[in-house]
Structures are given as C-alpha cells and as structure tokens.
Structure 1
Amino acid sequence: MENLMFCYQCEQTFGGKGCTKSGVCGKIPEIANLQDLLIYQLKGISCYAKPLIEAGKNIDKDIVKFVENCLFTTLTNVNFDAEAHVRLLKESQRIKEAVREQAPEGEYAQAAAYTLSETKEDMLKDSIMAGIMYDQNLDEDIRSLRSTVLYGLKGISAYGHQARFIGYQNDEVDHMYFLGLEATTNDKLTLEDMIRMTMRIGETSVQVMKLLDEANTTRFQNPSPHKVNVNRKKGPFIIVSGHDLHDLEMLLEQTKGKGINIYTHGEMLPSHGYPELKKYKHLVGNFGSAWQNQQKEFDGIPGCILMTTNCLMKPRDTYKDRIFTTSVVGWDGVTHIGAKEDGSKDFHEVIEKALELGGFQDEEDKQEILVGFGHHETLSHAEDIVKAVKDGAIRHFFLIGGCDGARPGRSYYTDFAQLVPKDCVILTLACGKYRFNKLDFGTVAGLPRLLDVGQCNDAYSAIRIATALADVFETDVNSLPLTIVLSWYEQKAVADLLALLSLGIKGMYLGPSLPAFLSPDVFQYLVDTFNIKPISTPEDDLKAALKQAVL
C-alpha cells in the first residue's frame, strides 16, 4: 500500500489544500489512516444508533462516552500513538456489533456493514475506503458539508468530554454525535438537508458550551479577576497544558505540601481565575506562551509537563523523559497516566520525576497579566459598561478570539489589537490571545481595555455577554457596536464558529486563511447568509468595523 494520507481538518494543512505525505501537525500516514478508519467505524455505529434514538431509546452512556472519546482522539494534535488507535478500533467493532443487534432490520450504509480486520496491517489496507476523497463521484458541496459536520462534532466532543469528566452530560448533545455522524453517510440527504444539519451542529455546540460552563462554574466557582505571574520561580515544578480543569485540580491536590510549583501553559491560563483552583498557593503562575511554541519552550527544562487535552507536538528527545500524557492524549513512547474506575488519577510518577529534576535554580522578577473576565464577572459591570457606551466613553467592542498557530499571517491579530483605538474594549478568548496578552492596553471607563474571557469553550461567555448587552440596549447582537475577529486552527474553532452562526451572528472576520474543507459554493453561502469576511489587512478591517453599528 502506498504510504499516503489525506487530511484537511486544520488551518495549517499543507498548501491550504490537504496534507498527503505527513501532517503539518506531526501526524504520519499510519496514524492518519487509522483515524480515518476509526471515524468510519463511528459512522457505522451511528447508522444503527439513529433508528434507536428516533424510537425514543437512549444509547448506553458507555457507548456515548466511547464515541465522544474517539472523536476527541482524532482531533488535531491530540493522539499520535498507533497502538492506542488499534485498541479503539477493536473496541469499536465490539460496540458496533452490540448496537447492530438492537437496531431494526433495514438497509444501512457501507460503514455499518463493514467488519473490522484482525491486524493493524489489514486495517491500514481497509482504511483507503474510509478516506475523505475515496468516493470520487461525491458532489463537492456535499463532501464539504459532511466534513464541516464531522469537524464540528470533533470540536463538540472536546467540550463534552471535559464536562462528562466532572459529571455533567446532556442527552441532546449525546444524541447529536450519532445523528450528525449518520448524516455524513446518508446519500439521501440533499444540500439543503446538510445545511440544516450543519446549523444543528452549531446549536449543539452552544448547548455543550453552556453545559461545560455550568460544570466548571459549579465545581470551581465563577471566574473572577486575578493577576497571574508569567515568570519562573525557584524550585521543582510541573507545567500543566491543555484544557481540563479537573486534571489540574487533581494534580494540585496531590502536590500539596510537596514543595512543587505548578504552572499552567497554553489554554490552561484561564484556570487562574477560578476561586476553587486559585486557592492552591502552589499554583504559582503561567509558563511560556501558546501551544505551538512548546518544543522550544520545553527544551531541556528541569521540570515535568502534563498534557491533559489537545495541543501536543512531537516531543523533542531533550524532554521526552519528562513529558506525560493523560486522558485521550498520546504519543508513542511517552508515559501515559490513565484513569481508574472511579475517574481518579494517580500522578505520583509525574511528582517523583519533578522532584528528581530539581526545578529552576533561580527566579525572575514577577511579571503579571490579568485573567478572569467570564460572563459573570464582566456582566457585574454591565451598568458601568452601558453608561460608558451611552456617554461615548466606550465606542466599540472587539472580540479577538480563537486558536493560535505557527503559520505566517497570525501577526495580523497582534497588529489589529494594537491598532484598536483607546476608546474601545478588546475581549479575547482561547490561545490566540498569546499574540498580545502581555501588552499593556490600559483602561477605559474604569475597566481594563483587554478582558480575558477564558478558554475556547468560553465562547459561550462571550455569547452571554453580547446577548445581555443587546437586551439592555433593546436591540440584537448584530446591532451592537461589536466586531468579532476569529482566528481558527482546529476543530473546536469550527464548533465555535458554527455556534455563532447558529445564533444568527453576522459580519464576522475569519482568518488567517479559509478552511480547505469549505468548497467555493459552501463558502459563498456563508458569505451571502452571514456576511462572513476573510481577513484582509488590520488597517482596512478595523476601518470597516468602526463604521458599523453605533448605538
């Protein structure tokens, strides 16, 4: 079999068209093709699950959890371990056969009828038929929308996984995994049907972000403003990267009194705003910057790294012995910390390694940045914000959010933020903020001009803030002096974008490049329906934005 692959699910896909020899993310053809086959298996399971859901039957939650885990496993920069994929594939066949026995007789898609081969070698041969481009006769717009639905579901699975880990789930979200996946196999669905399904994925994305917000704010309390040190302190340390607050909580609890400093990294930065995490005094700061700089920043450091969700890059040999993965994350040869039956985890290996390495021998002067402006905190200032807008002290709001990456062109977001006039407020979320969150933007109307709303899933917070302000001004979100400027990298950003579109939000700027999986006609539909604009230059886009809604 020719050692090829095809993947175009992330923004950095080769040539803006698709990775065919290896992934820009570090994914090799073997992993890419096993992931294609795993998704194919999930589609087969979903074909049998759909009629059961339509008959009012709930799918076993262990099966839901499995499908959610698999979707998350195949998200960009999550899992690069071939044997982990083989184990999931074998389990998928057992689950498919179990669901098949419950499903009514009828005609099902090829993915449902397929029986998994026994060996990895044969699985790789079979994976050809699971490839995105396998059906050469498929209408390109249908293919585009099927991919959009799949990538939206992958993003949703990341948020659903975090919520489920601390005991929160939603039946409608759970059902949508199966209904959405089945739709990507259903040749009877028209273009209009697939557009409707894409919007349903957006609605589900809003639901799952609301669920995760409830889970996090109930367990860890509502975020509040906290200053976070971004320079190193003396002593042993563990850096926690990813998104999962519960993993961070368990590690903080297990390192109490051991003389180990805990730093957040990447999208873990907003955890410093949660009172139930901030209470741990050895949560001392944030290390480094966005995920794509990790190889340079982790190079030979005298401490450990724990990767809790996505954003893993190929570990260099200089730190491969001190990086650990957990949850769905994996890399061949890297120690993985699994969960026990009750969901708890034992991080003693990470702790012992951190103590052995000894940590930093000196420390830098403290430098701090401000986090913690979720919807609860920001809306507690609603009266002041409204007055400032009415008095002309605040002219405009800019939400500059999304994922970061290494591809040239992302300096646009730094330049844009620096050009925003001083009578405007910048809201930011996700790791794209590392482009500018150490800059001093000062204050306006008594508020910081730069408000860190949180992680990528906290797009829900931004939605809450915008809709609440629209209610106060007795208008709709599209009539607010608000401009949304999005950078996208992987599939959670796709889920976020679909969430915003499902709410009817128009006029968003999208960059740094357009998704390769959007066909010209599908993109034109988004332009015509939602006035989506590809970014141009910061100067031109800012000028156009400031001409829009004035209350």
Structure 2
Amino acid sequence: MSMFCNQCEQAAKGTGCDIMGVCGKNPEVAALQDLMIYGLKGLAIYADKAREFGARDETIDLFMFEGLFTTVTNVDFDPVSIAAKLRKCFDNKEKIKALYETAYREKTGNHAPQISDGPAAWVIANDLVGLVKQGEAHGINTHHTDPDIRSAIEVLIYGLKGMAAYADHAFILGKTDEEVFAFFHKALAATTDPTKGLMDFVGLSMECGKMNIKVMGMLNQGHIDHYGQPVPTKVQLGTRKNKGILVSGHDLRMIEELLKQTEGKGIDVYTHGEMLPAHGYPGLKKYSHLYGNFGGAWQDQHKEFPDFPGAIIFNTNCIQRPADSYKDRLFTWGMVGWPGIKHMTGWNFSEVINKALECPDLPDAPGKEILTGFGHNAVLGVADKVIEGVKSGAIKHFFLIGGCDGAKPGRNYFTELAEIVPKDCVILTLACGKYRFNKLEFGDIGGIPRLLDVGQCNDAYSAVQIALALAGAFNCGVNDLPLSFILSWYEQKAHVILLSLLHLGIKNIKLGPALPAYLTPNVLNFLVENFNIGQITTADADLKAALGA
C-alpha cells in the first residue's frame, strides 16, 4: 500500500510522505483521510446546491467541520474512528441530497438533475478494506491534472482544514455563523468544478483567509464570553507533590469541565503545549488547582510525558505515537484518536479522574515562572505607553515571532533570532512556537515586558487586532509599521492564519523552516510577486533586513 501526503512542514524529503507519514500516519489512515476529503466534496456539492433553494441542515453543516478537522495533521490516527466518521459523511451526503431534491422540486415543479459521477455520486464501501481501497483512488494527485491548479486547490483545501478546526472550537463555545457554513460548502464544491482555473482558486483562498478572520473573531468572543478577557499572568513551571492530570491541546471548554469535576479531589491540573494560555483567563485561573504548565511544545511529548506520572488527556490536535511508558494513563477527547487509547466522549471525565487518583503523586519539583495572557485587550490597555515608547524611540521595532513548533531541524533559528533581537525591540509571540524561547529572560521597556505572549494559535486574531490598532494609532498601514512577521509553521491551522494575513495585504512575511511542499514554482512566484513572502535564512541576516541595517 502506498500513500502521498504533503500537507505539513515536515513532508519527507521536502516533497511528501509516500511510505509512512513523518507524523506517524500510516498508508491505511492516509487513504481513509483522502476518502474523507472526497466524501466531503460530495456533501459540499449538494449542500451548496440546497442553499440556492433555501434548504440547509445545521447538523450537516457542523459535520463539515468535524470531517475536515479529522484530516488535520496529528489529530486522528485511528482507522476505526475515521471509518465511523466516513459512514456519517456518506449518510449526511445522502440526507442533504434528499433535502436539495425536495427543495428543487418544490421551487421548480421538476425533478432535480441527477449527478452520476464524481464525489456527489460516491457510494460508501461496506468494510474497512473497501474504504481504504476507495481512498487510494482519490488522493491528492487526483485533484487536478494541471500541477499549478492542483497546488492552488491544495492551498484552498488546507485553508479549509485549518479554519474547520477553529470553527469547531467556536461551535463548542456556542458560536456559529451561516455565512461561514455557506463558504465551506461553496469553496469545497468549487474544487470539483472543471471550469475553474488557477485564479479562481487563488481568489477562493484569499476569501478563505478573510472568512478565517471572522471565525477566529467568533472563537475569541466565545472565550471572552465564557472566561473573560485574558490578563497577564505568571504561570508556574514544574510540578508539586499531589495527584495530577496533564491537559494537552487547545480546547478551553474541556479544561473548564475537567477543573469543575476535579475540584476538591486533591488533584492538580496542568497545561501542556497550546493549553498554556488557559492560565490567563479569569474564568479558569479562579480554580486554585489549575496549578501550572508542564513541558513544552507537542513534538517533545515522547521525551517529557514519561516524567509526568499522572493521567494525560489530549483534547485537540498535536498527539504523537504514545510510548508504552504512559500509554495506560493516556486519554483522548474530541477529534483526537489513536488506536488502543481510551477515547472519552461527552463531558464526563470520571475515568480520567479515577486514573489520576490511582497514579502516584507528582514529584515536588517546581520550576521558574513565565508570563502569558497578553491578548489584544491587555496590550491595547497599555497602548498609550506603547505608542509613547515608539514616539520617544524607546521602542524601535516589533517582531512577531511565533507559529507552530516542530521536530524538523532548523527550528533553532527562532531561538537564535529571539536572543539577538535588540533590547529596544518588543517580541510578540503566540502558538507553540513560543516554547523555543519563552523561558528566556527578556526584561522590559519602561515597564512593558519585551516578550508578550498573545496566546494560542487560536489567538492569532489578537495579534491581528494589535497590529491593526497600532496602524490606526500611527495613521498608517500595517506594512508601514516597524513590525516584522517571522513565522514558523507546521500544519493547516498555521496555513490558514497565513492566508488571513495575506488577505489583509500584509507583506514581507518570513516563513519557515521550509516553504510548503505543495506550492509549485508558479504558485510560489505569485506569492513572492504579490506579497514578497520569503523563506527564513539566518537569524543575523533576517534581523538586519527587518531593521534596515
């Protein structure tokens, strides 16, 4: 069995994984995920047509998020789980097809035209072997015969995948939007339209970036509505002697429910990876047993988790193949899945809690404290000081150094860059890329910390709002600010954030360590010519270029 996957930064040989995914995805899972995209295209075709006649179903709309999120890197590695979702995909396709045909007949008095081929006509196989075989027939290279158009289609699909993850987080917090639902269906259905060319998909990708800003705004508001505006907060590293549960991922609602259910049980809850910013929200930090943060970014879990003797649970993407040393106390929740690992459904975490109580106490080994919680509200709350600092010359430049971390060599660049940024410059950071340097001492400028942790990758909305507010304060465009974007990327959530920045017209972004393998030379040239996007080089050279030295 063969495969081909090039959707993440660590694509083998810089071109794509064709034997085994660097992420741990095997060919069977790769085929099932390819089939999910194919099936979702069929669903999107009918959902898009149904909307033309005023018919829709929110359950089917929401499944689009679930299906796309399932295919994001480091989410679901369990073929049985994906097969069950494929059944839901097919059932939803048939349901929306029936809704469309009924609506068409009611509006026109005629029977709807039948679609006899392609993803809209897909009939699901009866078993796992059959599903895998179907998936093998519908991989990336079948999207289009023209390599440039295929590349542009991939740019769009990977943007939809990343946005689906954010939309799923927002939905969990009660936020949905009809325009967002409609765009998902319109855009994915367009990838099956043979009349569309390269610039059609470039335009849809820019629209995806625009729509993603709306989705991240919904997610941001959901967080604020539930937990308040994040505030600058010191977070304890290391552990203390007590029972413990480690939460890795992004979902704040899940950790809130866990905190409620562990209250008074002698269990401390720790964050890992992108959960670190949870400590900055008043609605979460009120729980005294939300003790601290353990470990760093996702790619180090196999080295760090053996040293955490409590229970561990993943609530969103970033899971790796678990080691035997902690597999028996590991759980998954939400879209995450791994074969043989207990998956939690719903909001009852009693099994996780009981496992934590069975485990030995954590060691009494506290570490240093680090700061988080500098969302746009907190930063703009001291905007007068920031603006005065720029006007007086105390602050010469801003660097946004953040994004997804990863295991591929070359990411020490981001540490080196942060270390040599002059002391009259401020570093904004977000997502797990911050772990490359967030334990270093940077000091402050006039009481403003030189390192401002804006939050998760989900909080890119805050970084955008900070940039827009600064531009407004100085009556200029974002590209005219003393602000440099130097971003690390790994998977599709980072990809759609990049599309959002491009939609805003932000230029001169440095991206790395490697540029996406799915960009053909012609598509890459388009990005260079229109946005001057470029690959990182060396920390010294990129710093000099940013400062005009």
* Native 8 Å contact 2:33 2:71 kept in 1: yes
Match of 1:349 among 348, 351, 354: 351
Question: Where does residue 135 of structure 2 map in the other structure?
Answer: 127
SS at structure 2 position matched to 1:230: strand
Question: Where does residue 73 of structure 1 map in the other structure?
Answer: 70
* Native 8 Å contact 1:7 1:23 kept in 2: yes
1:107: how far off?
6.4
1:56: how far off?
4.1
Question: Where does residue 58 of structure 2 map in the other structure?
Answer: 61
Deviations 1:80-107 (A, max 9, x none): 1111111111111111111112335336
Counterpart mapping for 1:254-403 below 5 A: 254-299=261-306, 301-339=308-346, 345-360=347-362, 362-403=363-404
Letter in 2 for 1:100: K
Tell whether 2:237 aligns with 1:230. yes
* Native 8 Å contact 2:261 2:349 kept in 1: yes
1:449: how far off?
0.1
* Native 8 Å contact 2:209 2:499 kept in 1: yes
Structure 2: distance between partners of 1:288 and 1:359: 17
Structure 2: distance between partners of 1:448 and 1:97: 55
SS at structure 2 position matched to 1:262: strand
Question: Where does residue 16 of structure 1 map in the other structure?
Answer: 14
Structure 2: distance between partners of 1:310 and 1:81: 13
Letter in 1 for 2:158: Y
Match of 1:88 among 57, 81, 85: 85
* Native 8 Å contact 1:372 1:452 kept in 2: yes
Counterpart mapping for 1:508-547 below 5 A: 508-547=509-548
Q: Sequence identity, in percent?
A: 51
* Native 8 Å contact 1:235 1:260 kept in 2: yes
1:365: how far off?
3.8
Question: Where does residue 32 of structure 1 map in the other structure?
Answer: 30
Letter in 2 for 1:125: K
Letter in 1 for 2:77: F
* Native 8 Å contact 1:300 1:319 kept in 2: no
Report the TM-score when normalising by structure 2.
0.96
Q: Which moved more, 1:392-401 or 1:173-182?
A: 173-182
Aligned length: 538
Structure 2: distance between partners of 1:99 and 1:63: 7
Structure 2: distance between partners of 1:448 and 1:106: 62
SS at structure 2 position matched to 1:298: helix
Letter in 2 for 1:378: V
Tell whether 2:113 aligns with 1:116. no
Structural RMSD (CA) = 1.2
Q: Compared with structure 1, are the counterparts of its residues 107 and 200 closer, same or farther at alpha carbon in structure 2 (3 Å cutoff)?
A: farther
* Native 8 Å contact 1:394 1:445 kept in 2: no
Structure 1: distance between partners of 2:267 and 2:134: 48
Structure 2: distance between partners of 1:486 and 1:455: 14
Deviations 1:60-83 (A, max 9, x none): 111111111111111000011111
Q: Which moved more, 1:187-196 or 1:101-110?
A: 101-110
Letter in 1 for 2:352: V
* Native 8 Å contact 1:300 1:318 kept in 2: no
* Native 8 Å contact 1:146 1:183 kept in 2: no
* Native 8 Å contact 1:7 1:18 kept in 2: yes
Letter in 2 for 1:509: K
Q: Compared with structure 1, are the counterparts of its residues 407 and 171 closer, same or farther at alpha carbon in structure 2 (3 Å cutoff)?
A: same
Deviations 1:400-424 (A, max 9, x none): 0100000000001000000100000
Structure 2: give runs of 5+ residues left out of the alignment. Answer: 105-111
Tell whether 2:6 aligns with 1:5. no
Question: Where does residue 342 of structure 1 map in the other structure?
Answer: none
Tell whether 2:168 aligns with 1:161. yes
Structure 2: distance between partners of 1:354 and 1:32: 33
Deviations 1:286-321 (A, max 9, x none): 000000000111126320101000000011111111
Tell whether 2:188 aligns with 1:181. yes
Structure 1: distance between partners of 2:93 and 2:177: 22
Deviations 1:316-351 (A, max 9, x none): 111111010001111111111101xxxxx1111111
Structure 1: give runs of 5+ residues left out of the alignment. Answer: 340-344
